[in-house]
Amino acid sequence: MSQGAAALPGDPPGGRRAVAVWGLGVGVYFVAIIFRTSLGVAGIDAAERFHINASALSTFSILQLLVYAGMQIPVGLMVDRLGTKKVLALGAVLFTAGQFAFALSHGYGTALASRALLGCGDAMTFISVLRLGARWFPARRGPMIAQVAALFGMAGNLVSTMVLARLLHGAGWAATFGGSAAAGVLVLLLTLLFLKDHPEGHEPPPAAQGAGRGFVRQQIARAWREPGTRLGMWVHFTTQFPAMVFLLLWGMPFLVEAEGLSRETAGLLLTVVVLSSMAVGLVYGQIIARHHAARLPLALGTVGATALLWAAVAGWPGAHAPLWLLVTECVVLGACGPASMIGFDFARPANPPERQGTASGIVNMGGFIASITTLLAVGVLLDATGDDYRAAFCSVFVLEALGLSQILRLRTRAQRREQERVVASRVETVHVPAVSPGSTA
C-alpha cells in the first residue's frame, strides 16, 4: 500500500460493479492495442503492398506514435474536464475509422492518414482507463489496477501476433483489417450504453470541472512542477521503448531477415514477449502494492537487463544469434511494458485527483517519444548500412543512457517531495476531529 497515494473523497469501495465498469473501459483499450500493433505482424506485407523501403515503412509507426504522443496532454486535460465516457467513446470512433480506412488503402498517403487517425483514437484510451480505475477503486489498488490494465493491453498484442498474422496470410489484407474493425464498433456501443464515469456518491471534486482563464496552462504547469511527474515520465521513457519498437514494427523483420528465422518461429518469439509481459506485470503489480520502495529498483533492474541482452544479441560473433539467446531476449523485453507502468505510480501520488489525467498524459508521452525516435533511427540506419539490423538496433543504447541519467538526477528530489507529503498527511490526520459513534467515515 502506498502511503503517498492520492485518494478520492470517501475512497471508492471497488466491488463487482467497479470491476464490470472498469472492465468495459479496459475492453476499449484492448481493441485499441490490437489495432495499434496490427502493423507489427504486417510490416513485410505493407512494404510489398505500398512498394516502400525501410525508412518509409517506419514512417507508418512513427506517424501513429507521433500523433499518440502529441495527444497525451490534450487527452489528459479532456479526461479531467469531460470525464472518461465521452473521451473513450470518441477514441473508439476514431481508431475504428482508422483501422477500416487502412484496410481499404492502396496508396501510401492514404495509408499514412489512416494510421494517424488510428493513433489519435488510440491516444484516448489508456489515460481514460487509468482515470476510470482511480474513480472506481480504492487508491491502494492503483499499482495493481494499472498493471492489470496493461496486461489486457498485452493480450491485445497477443491477438495481433497469433490471430491477425494468420488471418493476414489466409484471408488477405482488406478482409483482415476491415473485419477487425467490427470489434471497434462493438466496444463503442457497449461504452455508450453501459460505461459510467464514477460510482454514485463519488462525483469528481468541483475543481476538476472548473475552467477559468489559463486553466489549461495552470494544469500542465502544476503537474510538471511535481518531481514525481517528471520522474515518472523518464521512467516511462527509458523502460517502454525497446519492447515497443520490437513489437510494433522491427521485431518481425529483424528475426526473419537478420536472424534467418521463419515467419512462424518469429511470430512465436513475438508471442513470448507478450506472454512474458503479462506474467511480469502481475508480479510487478503485487510487489509494488506491498513494497512501495521497490518501484525504482524494479525500473532500473529492467533497464539494465534489457541493455545487457540487447548487447549480447547485437555483439554475437556469428552470423545469427542462437535461438536460446533470442528467446531470452524476448523474455526480458517482456518486462519493459510492466516497468513502464511504474512511471504512473510515481506521478499518481504526486498529484491531486483533479490533475490525474494531465499528469498521466505527461508520463505517457515519455515512452512514446522514445519509441518514435528509435523507430526513425532504426529505419534510417538500416537504409544507411545496407540492412544491418545489429548496427541499427544500437540506437537503443543512446536512448537508454539519456533516460537513465534523468532518472538518477530526479529520484532524490522526488523521494524528498513524497516524504514531505506523507508527513503533511499525517499532521492533517492528527488534527481531524473525531467522528461521532453513529457516523460513517
Question: Per-10-residue mean pLDDT for the chain, 441 residues long?
Answer: 43 81 94 88 84 83 84 88 92 96 92 92 92 82 80 82 82 90 95 88 57 74 93 96 88 91 89 89 87 92 96 90 96 94 89 84 91 89 90 93 96 86 61 41 34
Residue with cell 510489398: 48
DSSP string covering 221-236, please? HHHHHSHHHHHHHHHH
**Residue linked to cell 461504452:** 191
CA distances from 172 to 166, 178, 261, 395 (A): 9, 10, 23, 34
Residue position matching grid coordinates 515497443: 244
**DSSP letters spanning 6-48:** ---TT-----HHHHHHHHHHHHHHHHHHHHHHGGGGSHHHHHH
Q: Cell match 491477425: residue?
A: 164
Closest alpha carbon to 118 in 105, 106, 129: 105
The cell numbers describing 100, all together, are 477500416
Taking residue 436's Cβ as centre, other Cβ atoms within 10 Å add up to 6
Helix (H, G, I), strand (E, B) or coil at 316: coil
pLDDT at site 440:
31
Residue found under cell 541519467: 405
pLDDT at 198: 78
Q: How far apart are CA 402 and CA 406, in angstroms?
A: 7
H or E stretch covering 56: helix 54-82
d(Cα 358, Cα 224) in Å, to the nearest integer?
Answer: 9
Please report the pLDDT score of residue 424 as a whole number: 67
Backbone angles phi, psi at 351, to 5 degrees: -130, 145
Chain centre distance of CA 303:
17
Cα 365 from Cα 19, distance rounded (Å): 27
pLDDT at residue 310 in the model: 93
Residue 394 CB burial class (10 angstroms; 0-12, 13-18, ≥19): middle
Instruction: Round to whole Å and give the CA distance between 36 and 125.
Output: 12
Helix intervals (H) in 316-355: 323-333, 336-347
| Separation of alpha carbons 309 and 220, rounded Å | 37
d(Cα 270, Cα 107) in Å, to the nearest integer?
28
- CA separation for the pair 381, 402 (Å, rounded): 19
Which pLDDT score, from 0 to 100, does residue 432 have? 47
CA dist 375 and 248 (Å) reads 9
The closest alpha carbon to 395, from 256, 245, 210, 188, belongs to 245
Cell numbers standing for residue 367: 515512452
CB count within 10 Å of CB 37 equals 26
Q: What's the confidence (pLDDT) of residue 422?
A: 67
Contact 243, 277 (CB under 8 A): yes
Report pLDDT for 353.
77
**Under a CB-based contact definition with an 8 Å cutoff, are residues 216 and 74 in contact?**
no
Q: Give the pLDDT of residue 204.
A: 64
HSE-up of residue 332 (Cα within 13 Å, Cβ side): 20
pLDDT at 41: 76
The C-alpha angle with vertex 118 and arms to 117 and 121, in degrees rounded to 5, equals 90
Q: Report the distance separating Cα 271 and Cα 157, nearest Å.
A: 8
Q: What is the pLDDT of residue 34?
A: 92
407 by DSSP, 3-state: which? helix
What single-letter amino acid sits at 402?
L
Look at residues 110, 114, 125 and name the one whose alpha carbon lies nearest to residue 75: 125
